[in-house]
C-alpha cells in the first residue's frame, strides 16, 4: 500500500507562520480595543457621565461568536439592570463599530474565569483614562476627577473620617447591612399621637404593617418637620415594626450613607455595596437634607429608582419639604415629591401635656419621690411651645430642682428653673409662593402675570415688590429667588430689591404698602 510521505516544514517556516499568526491576533485585539473604546465613548456621550459611570464602567466585551457580542459584568444586578433598561442603546452602539452584530449576550463573570478575548485588558483604563475604570486605581485610591475630588471633600467633613480611611474592605458589607443603630425605646408604643402628627403616624403604621408582596400605597413616604417634633422616633418605629415581620430593613442617616458609600469606593467594593443595598425590603433614610456631593447624590438617586422599580418601600425624613432642599439634585427632589409628603406640625398644647406626663412618669422610675403638680405641668406646656427636646430639658431641670433643694415644686419655682428654655415665639416661615399669591391679590393681578415676561407697569411694580419681600422675608439666595420668578437672572432680582428699597425711602405710599404686606405675611 502506498503511504504518502509526510510533508516536512523547515523550523524557520513554522516560526515565521507563528509570528504572522501572533501579529494578526495582536492587530485584531488592538482593533477590537479601539472599537470598544469608541463604543464606550458613544455610550458616555448619549447617556451622560453619571449613567455611564454607574452602569457601564464595569462592562467588558469577552468575545464575538456568530453575530453575537458576548459581554460580561461582575454582578447579577448590573446584568439585569442593563438588560432591562439599556439593551437597545447598547446594541445600537455596538453595531456602529461591529456591523455584523445582531445580538448581545450579557453574563456574570467570575474572578477565576479565563476569557476568550478581553477587549478591555488589564491596565488599559490606567493608560487611556477612565474609559473602562470605576474611578479607582488598583491601590484603592480615587483617580483624579470629579468622583475622587468629592470623596476627599466628603471624607474631610464626615465625623467618621478616620474610619473611612482605615476601614477594611471585608467590613463594608457588614457595615451597610448593620445600618445606623436603632433605639429600642423609639417604637410605635411610645409614640404619642396628637393633631399635629396624626396623619404621619397613620401613614407610618400603614407602611410598617404592609406584608411583603402587597401593593405599596405610599412610596416613597416623605416626612418633614422641624427639629424635636418626632420624625426620627417615627422612622425608627417603622424600622422596628418592619424588622419584627422578618422584612429586610436598613435604617441609615444621611451621614451614615455617605460614610459607607465613601468606604465602599475606597475599598473598591462599590458594586457589592449597591447590590446589598438594593436587595432589601425597606430603606429608611433620616436627615436627608445633609446629603452632600454630586456623585453620592447621583448614586442615591439610582438607588431610589432601583428600589422603587423593584417595588421596595422607601421612607425619608428631612427638616423641610422636597422643594426646599436646594442642595439636592433636582431628580432626587422630584422622586421625593412623587410619593406621599407629610408635614409634622408644631406640637399643640394637649400633645405637649401628654409628652410632659410621659416624661414625668419615666423620671419617677429613677426618682420615686419626684412629683410635679398638674398646675406646673400645664404651666410648662403653655410656655414651652418649641419642641419635645425642650420639654425633656424642662423635666430634667425640675428633677434637679426637687432632688437637690428638697423643696416642693410650684409654678413660681418652675418658672425660675426653666427660664432659659422659655423662648419668644419664632416668626412664621414665609414661602415664596405665599408672597407671590398675596402680592398678586393685593395689586389685582394674577400670579401667572408676576411670573410672566410682561413688562407693563401694572405688572412690573408688583413683581419687584414680590422679589423684594422674598429677599427680606426668606433665606433664599438671589439665584433661587430668580428661579422661582419664572427663571430670571439673579441680577434682575438684585435690581428689583434695590429699586423697592429706594422707593420705600422716598415714597411714603410704597413704604406703607410694603410694611402692610410684611405684616400680612408674618402675622397671618
What is the CA 232 to chain-centroid distance, rounded?
Answer: 16
Q: Which pLDDT score, from 0 to 100, does residue 494 have?
A: 93
For the beta sheet containing 340-343, the strands, ordered from the edge strand earlier in sequence to the opposite edge, are 249-253, 282-286, 313-318, 221-224, 340-343
What per-residue confidence (pLDDT) applies to 322? 87
Distance of CA 113 to the CA centre of its chain: 37
In this structure, whether the domain defined by 349-421 belongs to CATH 1.10.8 is answered with: yes
In tens, the pLDDT along 5-34 reads 444 444 444 455 545 444 444 445 556 778
Q: Where are the domains of the chain?
A: 11-128, 164-343, 349-421, 432-523
Q: Could you give the CA distance from residue 273 to residue 256 in angstroms, rounded to a whole number? A: 13
| Domain pair 11-128 / 349-421, same fold | no
Kindly give the parts of the chain with pLDDT less than 70.
1-31, 110-179, 211-214, 423-428, 523-524
Amino acid 28: pLDDT: 53
Query: Hey, which CATH number is domain 432-523, 2.60.120.370, 1.10.1750.10, 3.30.1380.10, 3.90.226.10?
Result: 1.10.1750.10
Instruction: Give the CATH number of domain 164-343; options: 1.10.4080.10, 3.40.960.10, 3.40.50.1980, 3.40.50.300.
Output: 3.40.50.300
Residue 262 · residue 300 · CB < 8 Å: no
| Locus of grid cell 433664599 | 476
pLDDT per position as a tens digit, 262-307: 777 777 777 777 777 777 888 898 988 888 777 778 778 888 888 8
Model confidence pLDDT, tens digit, residues 167-179: 444 444 444 445 6
Q: Residue 428: what pLDDT?
A: 62
pLDDT at 25 (0 to 100)? 46
pTM of the shown model: 0.52
Looking at domain 11-128, which CATH architecture does it have?
Answer: 2-Layer Sandwich (3.30)
Q: Collect all residues with Cβ–Cβ distance below 8 Å to 485 and sequence separation of at least 6.
A: 436, 450, 451, 463, 466, 467, 470, 492, 493
Amino acid at each position: 500500500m502506498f503511504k504518502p510521505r509526510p510533508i516536512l516544514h523547515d523550523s524557520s517556516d513554522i516560526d515565521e507562520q507563528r509570528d504572522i499568526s501572533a501579529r494578526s491576533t495582536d492587530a485584531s485585539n488592538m482593533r477590537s480595543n479601539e472599537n470598544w473604546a469608541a463604543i464606550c465613548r458613544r455610550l458616555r456621550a448619549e447617556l451622560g457621565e453619571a449613567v455611564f459611570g454607574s452602569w457601564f464602567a464595569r462592562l467588558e466585551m469577552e468575545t464575538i461568536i456568530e453575530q453575537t457580542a458576548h459581554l460580561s459584568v461582575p454582578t447579577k444586578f448590573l446584568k439585569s439592570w442593563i438588560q432591562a433598561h439599556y439593551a437597545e442603546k447598547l446594541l445600537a452602539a455596538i453595531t456602529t463599530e461591529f456591523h455584523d452584530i445582531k445580538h448581545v449576550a450579557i453574563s456574570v463573570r467570575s474572578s477565576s474565569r479565563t476569557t476568550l478575548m478581553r477587549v478591555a485588558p488589564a491596565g488599559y483604563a490606567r493608560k487611556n483614562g477612565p474609559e473602562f475604570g470605576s474611578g479607582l486605581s488598583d491601590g484603592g485610591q480615587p483617580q483624579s476627577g470629579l468622583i475622587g475630588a468629592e470623596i476627599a471633600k466628603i471624607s474631610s467633613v464626615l465625623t467618621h473620617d478616620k474610619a473611612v480611611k482605615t476601614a477594611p474592605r471585608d467590613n463594608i458589607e457588614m457595615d451597610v447591612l448593620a445600618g445606623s443603630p436603632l433605639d429600642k425605646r423609639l417604637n410605635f408604643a411610645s409614640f404619642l399621637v396628637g393633631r399635629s402628627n396624626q396623619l404621619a403616624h397613620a401613614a407610618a403604621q400603614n407602611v410598617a404593617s404592609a406584608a411583603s408582596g402587597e401593593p405599596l400605597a405610599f412610596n416613597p413616604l416623605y416626612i418633614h418637620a422641624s427639629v424635636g417634633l418626632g420624625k426620627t422616633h417615627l422612622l425608627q418605629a417603622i424600622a422596628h415594626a418592619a424588622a419584627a415581620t422578618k422584612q429586610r430593613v436598613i435604617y441609615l442617616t444621611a451621614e451614615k450613607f455617605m460614610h459607607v458609600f465613601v468606604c465602599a469606593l475606597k475599598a473598591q467594593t462599590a458594586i457589592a455595596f449597591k447590590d446589598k443595598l438594593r436587595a432589601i425590603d425597606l430603606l429608611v433614610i433620616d436627615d436627608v437634607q445633609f446629603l452632600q456631593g454630586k456623585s453620592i447624590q447621583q448614586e442615591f438617586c439610582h438607588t431610589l429608582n432601583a428600589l422603587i422599580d423593584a417595588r421596595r418601600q422607601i421612607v425619608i425624613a428631612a427638616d423641610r419639604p422636597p422643594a426646599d432642599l436646594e442642595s439636592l439634585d433636582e431628580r432626587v427632589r422630584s422622586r421625593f415629591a412623587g410619593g406621599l409628603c407629610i408635614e409634622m406640625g408644631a406640637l399643640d398644647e394637649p400633645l405637649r401635656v401628654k409628652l410632659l406626663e410621659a416624661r414625668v412618669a419615666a423620671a419617677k422610675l429613677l426618682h420615686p419621690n419626684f412629683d410635679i403638680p398638674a398646675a406646673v405641668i400645664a404651666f410648662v406646656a403653655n410656655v414651652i411651645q418649641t419642641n419635645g427636646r425642650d420639654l425633656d430639658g424642662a423635666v430634667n431641670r425640675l428633677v434637679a430642682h426637687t432632688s437637690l433643694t428638697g423643696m416642693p415644686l410650684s409654678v413660681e419655682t418652675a418658672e425660675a428653673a426653666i427660664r432659659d428654655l422659655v423662648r419668644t415665639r419664632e416668626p412664621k416661615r414665609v414661602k415664596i409662593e405665599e408672597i407671590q399669591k398675596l402680592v398678586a391679590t393685593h395689586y389685582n393681578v394674577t400670579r401667572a402675570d408676576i411670573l410672566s415676561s410682561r413688562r407693563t407697569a401694572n405688572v412690573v411694580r408688583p413683581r419687584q415688590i414680590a422679589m423684594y419681600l422674598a429677599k427680606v422675608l426668606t433665606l433664599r439666595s438671589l439665584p433661587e429667588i430668580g428661579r422661582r420668578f419664572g427663571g430670571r437672572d439673579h441680577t434682575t432680582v438684585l435690581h428689583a430689591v434695590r429699586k423697592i428699597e429706594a422707593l420705600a425711602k422716598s415714597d411714603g405710599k410704597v413704604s406703607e404698602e410694603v410694611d402692610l404686606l410684611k405684616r400680612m405675611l408674618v402675622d397671618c
